Structure 1
Amino acid sequence: MRADLVRIGAYMFAHVQLPAGRLVWTRDGLSQHQVVVVATESPGLEVVSEGPVVARRATWFVVAPGRTPVQFTAARPLELVFVNLDRSRIAEEMDVDLAHAGRDTVDDGVVRPMVNFVKSLCAIQGEKVETGATPLGGAACEVARSLVKTVVGDPVPETSLTDAVIGILRRRHASPHLSVSMVARELGVSVRTIQSALRRERTTFSAALRSIRIDMAKDLQRADPGLGAAAVARAAGFGSRQALYRSVRNAEKSNAEKSNAEKSSARE
């Protein structure tokens, strides 16, 4: 790996030639407050963490602060820029919500000039650039903040996020491979963000998907009474008749327990 680095105060800029392979960033107490922006020249990079990661078209990424490791996997040699800054620089100066990223509407015409600026900055050799001391230093810090803001986008209200998740589940309920990580990648948010939004609606990803699949199975049976249980189960996304029956029983049991708990609470 080849990297040209420039540090300006609390900001770090890098222009990197990354070979194909896997790199794990094991964050510690010194780096847990850092926000990281990665922009590649072409798709082929995967950035994965248990914490929030905003991914745009497999080209632009923002890693939120935290202590969970971050894994970078390059499918082939890539050219990229890397910007690292303290989260206080975002919290104090810009309206950025890393846990509730906006829609993937990033304009290449907006991001590309900032990426090229970072590459040019990193080409400077043997020069000291002080933050705020020169127009170049001030411009570099502003570019770093603008990159985070542009890639993350305006925050999405949690109700809208929940609606977006449910919409995907309704459209893809028949897929046996549907998962919360798949939905998170499509929406450009973290798994934890989706789980938190659903938890506030007093449900989980599995429960919401099960409910939708049961409703779809009932609709299929009403539309075609002669359709066999196995065919209904497959079309609804359960995979087997036994899985359909088991899900219906679990849903009925859960609803009964919820009803009993509400009645008990009302008596108290």
Structure 2
Amino acid sequence: MTSPRTKPLIGLLHTCLVDFYRPSIGFASVQLLEQAGCEVQVPGLQTCCGQPAFNSGNLAQARAMARQVIKTFEAFDYVVGPSGSCMSQVKVHYPQLFSDDPQWLKRAKSLAERSFELVSFLIDVLNTTALQSSYQGTVTYHDSCSGLRELGIKQQPRKQLEQVQGLKLVEMPEAETCCGFGGTFCVKYPEISARMASQKVSNIQASGADTLAGGDLGCLLNISGRLTRLGSPVRVFHVAEVLAGMTQIPAIGEGEVH
């Protein structure tokens, strides 16, 4: 007879960008969740959440990908991911995708209720404040659009960063302004995107910070690329890497030629 499980079982939605470009964010997420008392699994059958297809109007493809994600994660107590945009796709847009399909709508709503962005989950669900990490530097935080506007993520990462030993948190001007990434937006409107990214870089530099943190790798890749092109020494990390003490590795975009 198996003993009852006492730890919440988390399915980590690691996201495509993390999987392909920055696996350390996934490892940092697992570390933070395990330190908070969770059991974490990373399902091998997970696919893209379908956000690019959804944003491009390809709803048939978005529904197919959503069904795969729903089936893969249904057995977990919670679904957690280190991305506001991906988790808002699951939490906000999956029920919209199946609004005319009662069977899948029920399953989408059930999953949506148990799905959270990483730092939001640590603060809002687990009430985790004690961290075992340090960072010597001045950090400013970029609010990504989906996390901020669709999931209400604003103070949660700041509360966590304030607990990191040695870290000084400062606010940049217009922290809530889009960086210009916007998924396919940066491909469709590259000139506008570049101007928005340049303004974001100016705001980061105005803050006096030597490090930028954020919760969405797409935004961070976009901003770090612009920082590199403009010759800025500001380092870029996902907030999970800072909170988990995984900043001894090269920063996002560090050493890359753009």
TM-score, normalised via structure 2 length: 0.22
TM-score, normalised via structure 1 length: 0.21
Q: Which has the higher strand share?
A: 1
Instruction: Find the structure with the greater CA-based Rg.
Output: 1
